[in-house]
Amino acid sequence: MFGRISAYKCVLASILGIMRRFLVWPSKLIWPGNLPYIALFRTLHEKDAVDHMVLPSRWSISRLQFFIIICFIETIYHWLPGYIMPILTAFSWMCLINPKNIILSQLTGHYGLGMGSFQFDWKLLTSYLGSPIITPRWAQANILIGFVLFSWIIIPIFYYTNLWNSKTLPIATFDTVLVDTGNNFVLHASTGTILFYGMYFASLSSILIHTVLYHGRDIIKQFRTSLYRRDNDIHCKLMSKYPEVPEWWYGSVFILSFTCACIVMHLGHFMKWYFVCAGVGVALVYILPTGILAAKTNQILNIKAIGYIIGAVAISDNPIGFLTFKTFVIQTQIQALTLILYLKLSHFMKIPPRALFSTVVIGTSVSVLTSYAMADYFLNNIKDICVNNVNWTCPHTTHSWVSVDSLWGENILSSQTAFIPPTGIYSSMLWFFLIGALLPIPFWLLNEKYWHRIKWLKHVHFPLIFFVGSLIPTMAAGTVPTWLFIGFFFSTVIHKWWWNRYGLLFSSGMDIGVAIATIIIYFSFINRNISFSEWWGIGGPHNDGCPLSQSPLVPSY
């Protein structure tokens, strides 16, 4: 396990050298996730004079004062959703009218389709889509379209028409069940799970075509230029004063880490060494398009489905190899994009590139070696760890990911995978690859012809629309309406001067307030197994006061 982690962490460090000219240097790619940190750093380290020309004197307040106030208020408030009144994390007021009505529960429950549900917990609100304050308004519009289309229109149609016998499972959750047909067992998946993969397939093909059409010219331009030739970018101009990291540094790290990864895969009997080539190749193909998406919208499109497909076809007879390959693909992409995010932060904050390179390489090496040594020591020296030792338990895989792996991994009882043709019962979902690839083309052609008359055409983003549709089973649907409302409020209703001065600090203050409250609650109560008394504010088993939101309409299994 930790050998795999060490291998892909080293490989991804070398990928940064290739992608920095495309994802770090361009001024158009701002990586919104960095903005709250930059605002916080400036607030803590720069002198801030109150602008009396903009703010009336009685409302005058410095940025530091505003940050402290928001942080303090959120620290106090988070005790409600975080411990005292969990129903605020999933407030389904419409379902509370008649919680015993299963259809009403499925439609309005926070963990159903979330119609009329609200989210009053900042921690859970930002856990999937990030802070709504830093997401551009055009991206919010695409998220709205994707959410309404797939969560409130397509899923109910598929479910209540009983397509794929879907009424026997919950409407919008990851659920699978093995059905005994007499001769063998057939894997049956919920509507949310099936459409999750359909939307994921569409987003994976759509983002490649979208990147080529909308960003192809810029990519070619970035390939032919360097940091020193970007005179119109003040950040690049200032960063060019530092010695740049030579390309051969990154190349050397890649050769060394790739060799080590192959050795680890072979000696550890995880999978054949040449699957490392496939994993790195897939990551290289998708890091650029998914990086552009993240740099513009703060949304990361995970490529886990590619790992599942290749693993299911090529190494389905080796469960360890299957899990190793998909982990290699997923973590290489996610951690590479995370480090590119930090590279952009250092670009804004003017940190010398060679100092950052040394810090990343040394920090990664120390962390993986330390993690491996600790894990190896615990597993070999603590009796019954992860089995019967109540003092040393291990995190269990969530039900959703068990369902995912059972859909793709070789199933001993049925000897088939659900999405792989010709025997896969859901193999028709693979057509979404074609749908996702074709849809961006007509809108790009319209934009090329009518861009000066129809301004909104350039903001149509099918990869983002499909991406949101694929999030519904993993993310509670009731989170999205509140997320969109807050995003619209800050980007449209709040005056521009307020957002520029305080909006980003509001996001940072909320994050830090939640972190402080969570630490206090954990060590004061959760760690001591002290739970709050049972009352209406607990919200039942799902915290939404809607106990039937995850129940099937026809409980046949």
Asked if 21 and 287 count as a contact pair (C-beta separation under 8 A), the reply is no
Residue 256 φ then ψ, to 5°: -65, -45
Separation CA 205–CA 311 (nearest Å)? 18
Report CA-CA distances (Å) from 505 to 39, 70, 239: 6, 9, 26
Token pair in block for residue 201: 């397939």
Q: What pLDDT is recorded for position 415? A: 36
Separation CA 394–CA 381 (nearest Å)? 15
Residue that has been written with the tokens 């799970």 in this structure:
193
Asked if 315 and 322 count as a contact pair (C-beta separation under 8 A), the reply is yes
Which residues touch 449 (CB under 8 Å, ≥6 apart)? none
Q: How confident is the model at residue 221 (pLDDT cuts 50, 70, 90)?
A: confident
Of the candidates 170, 74, 76, which has an alpha carbon nearest to the alpha carbon of residue 125?
Answer: 74
Q: For residue 177, list its beta bridge partners.
A: 188
Q: What pLDDT is recorded for position 402? A: 46
Q: What pLDDT is recorded for position 382? A: 83
Helix 431-438, helix 191-223: angle, nearest 10: 40
Q: What pLDDT is recorded for position 18? A: 67
Separation CA 514–CA 5 (nearest Å)? 29
Residue 176 φ then ψ, to 5°: -135, 155
Q: What letter represents residue 374's amino acid?
A: M
Q: Give the global pTM.
A: 0.87
Of the candidates 199, 201, 171, 175, which has an alpha carbon nearest to the alpha carbon of residue 187?
Answer: 175
Asked if 557 and 186 count as a contact pair (C-beta separation under 8 A), the reply is no
For the cut 80, the answer to whether the pLDDT of residue 96 exceeds it is: yes
Separation CA 403–CA 409 (nearest Å)? 10
Average pLDDT over residues 104-132: 91
Token pair in block for residue 276: 């490392």
Q: What pLDDT is recorded for position 4? A: 47
Q: How confident is the model at residue 145 (pLDDT cuts 50, 70, 90)?
A: very high
Q: What pLDDT is recorded for position 148? A: 94
What integer best gives the mean pLDDT of the chain?
Answer: 83
Q: What is the DSSP letter of 80?
A: I
For the cut 60, the answer to whether the pLDDT of residue 5 exceeds it is: no
Separation CA 262–CA 243 (nearest Å)? 33
Q: What pLDDT is recorded for position 213? A: 94
Residue that has been written with the tokens 């229109």 in this structure:
153
Q: What pLDDT is recorded for position 229? A: 59
For the cut 70, the answer to whether the pLDDT of residue 538 exceeds it is: yes
Q: What pLDDT is recorded for position 375? A: 84
Angle at 457 between CA 456 and CA 459, to 5 degrees: 70
Separation CA 200–CA 430 (nearest Å)? 10
Out of 167-181, 189-203, 253-267, which region has the weakest mean confidence (pLDDT)? 167-181
Out of 230-244, 337-351, 361-375, 390-404, which region has the weakest mean confidence (pLDDT)? 390-404
Q: Which one has a higher pLDDT value, 492 or 179? A: 492
Helix 440-450, helix 191-223: angle, nearest 10: 40
Token pair in block for residue 54: 């903009």
Q: What pLDDT digit, counting tens, does each position of 307-330 carry? A: 888 887 788 778 888 888 888 888
Of the candidates 27, 400, 491, which has an alpha carbon nearest to the alpha carbon of residue 196?
Answer: 400
Out of 19-23, 153-157, 388-392, which region has the weakest mean confidence (pLDDT)? 388-392
Average pLDDT over residues 246-274: 85
